[in-house]
Amino acid sequence: DTAVSQTPKYLVTQMGNDKSIKCEQNLGHDTMYWYKQDSKKFLKIMFSYNNKELIINETVPNRFSPKSPDKAHLNLHINSLELGDSAVYFCASSQGTAGGGVGYTFGSGTRLTVV
Amino acid sequence: AQSVTQLGSHVSVSEGALVLLRCNYSSSVPPYLFWYVQYPNQGLQLLLKYTSAATLVKGINGFEAEFKKSETSFHLTKPSAHMSDAAEYFCALTGGFKTIFGAGTRLFVKA
C-alpha cells in the first residue's frame, strides 16, 4: 500500500495548457509539501500545508496554486504552462512541521514535460 | 541564513570499498540534519537523521553519519559499497518550518 501516491506519474502537455497533479498520503501525517526538482536534481520547496493551512509559500509564480481539501490530500494546479515548468514535482508528507526534526516521506514524483 | 553544501557532485568507488559522501552545513540554530537517497525515477527515501541525540547516527542499508559541530559537517559513510548503493544522495537541513537540500552527490559503484 503506497504511503504517498502521486498521479499522474508522467505528464506531457503543450505550452499554455492548465494541468493538475494530485497527491494523497495514507500515513496519517498532518503536514504535506510540494517540491520541484530541476534537471540538475536541485530540490526546491514550493508549498507546505499543515492541517489544511498553508504555512510555506515560496517565491513561486501565481500560476501555481496548491489546494488541500483535507490533511491527507494536497493537489497542485498549474495554469498557463511554460517551458520552464518542465521538472519533476514531488509531494512529501511528515508528522509535524519540518521544525520538529522529523523526516519526510516522498512520493515517487510526477515528471512534467511542457512542449 | 542556513545552507547545505555537498562536496563533490559525483563520487565513484569500487564495490567493497569505503563510501564517503561529504556534507557541510551552516545554521544559526541547532540543526536537524538528514541524508536521503534517490534511486532512478523514484522519490527520495530517508536514510538517517540527526536530531541532537547521539552524534553518530546509524541508518538503513548499512549507512551511518557523524555530526561534528566543530567542523559543521555531517558526512555519510558506509564501510563496504555494494552495486545497489549506486544512486543520488542528498544531505538536508531543517530550521524553522523549512528543510533545505544540498545539490546532491551521485554515487557510482564500479564492479
Q: What is the CA radius of gyration of chain B?
A: 13
Mutant choice from A6, A41, A48 vs B, greatest count of B C-beta within 10 A: A41
Residue ranges of chain A with per-residue pLDDT less than 70: 98-100
Which residue in B36, B98, B103 is closest to A98 by CB distance?
A: B98
Do residues B88 and B106 make contact, with C-beta atoms less than 8 angstroms apart? yes
With an 8 Å Cβ cutoff, are B44 and A106 in contact? yes
Taking the CA of residue B6 and the nearest CA in chain A, the distance in Å comes to 12
Which residue on chain B is closest to A5 by alpha carbon?
A: B43
**Partners of A43 in beta bridges:** A37
| Other Cβ atoms within 10 Å of A75 Cβ, number | 19
Classify residue A44 as exposed, middle or buried by CB count within 10 Å of its CB (0-12, 13-18, 19+).
Answer: middle
> What pLDDT, on the 0 to 100 scale, is given for residue B95?
77
Taking the CA of residue B108 and the nearest CA in chain A, the distance in Å comes to 16
With an 8 Å Cβ cutoff, are B43 and A98 in contact? no
> Which residues in B lie closer than 8 A to residue A109 (C-beta atoms)?
41-43
The answer to whether residue B11 scores a pLDDT higher than 80 is: yes
> What pLDDT, on the 0 to 100 scale, is given for residue B99?
87
| pLDDT band of B19, cuts 50, 70, 90 | very high
Element (H, E) at B89: strand B87-95
With an 8 Å Cβ cutoff, are A98 and B34 in contact? no
Does the beta carbon of B32 lie under 8 angstroms from any beta carbon of chain A?
yes
φ/ψ (deg, to 5) at A72: -95, -5
> Which residues in A lie closer than 8 A to residue B49 (C-beta atoms)?
101, 103
How far lies A18's CA from each of A11, A15, A65, A77, B84, in Å? 11, 9, 11, 7, 39
With an 8 Å Cβ cutoff, are B49 and A101 in contact? yes
Tell me the pLDDT tens digit for each residue of B22-55.
999 999 888 899 999 999 989 999 999 998 778 9
Tell me the three cell numbers of residue A11: 505528464
Q: Order the strands of the B56-58 sheet from edge to edge.
A: B3-7, B19-26, B73-78, B64-68, B56-58
Tell me the pLDDT tens digit for each residue of A73-89.
999 999 999 999 999 99
Tell me the pLDDT tens digit for each residue of B44-101.
999 999 987 789 999 999 999 999 999 999 999 999 999 999 999 999 998 777 789 9
How far lies B108's CA from each of A43, B74, B75, B81, B82, in Å? 21, 20, 17, 10, 10
Cα–Cα nearest to A32, from A87, A2, A77, A72:
A72
φ/ψ (deg, to 5) at B102: -70, 175
Does the beta carbon of B3 lie under 8 angstroms from any beta carbon of chain A?
no
Element (H, E) at A89: strand A87-94
Do residues A52 and A71 make contact, with C-beta atoms less than 8 angstroms apart? yes
Taking the CA of residue A24 and the nearest CA in chain B, the distance in Å comes to 14
Between A and B, how many CB-CB pairs are < 8 A? 60
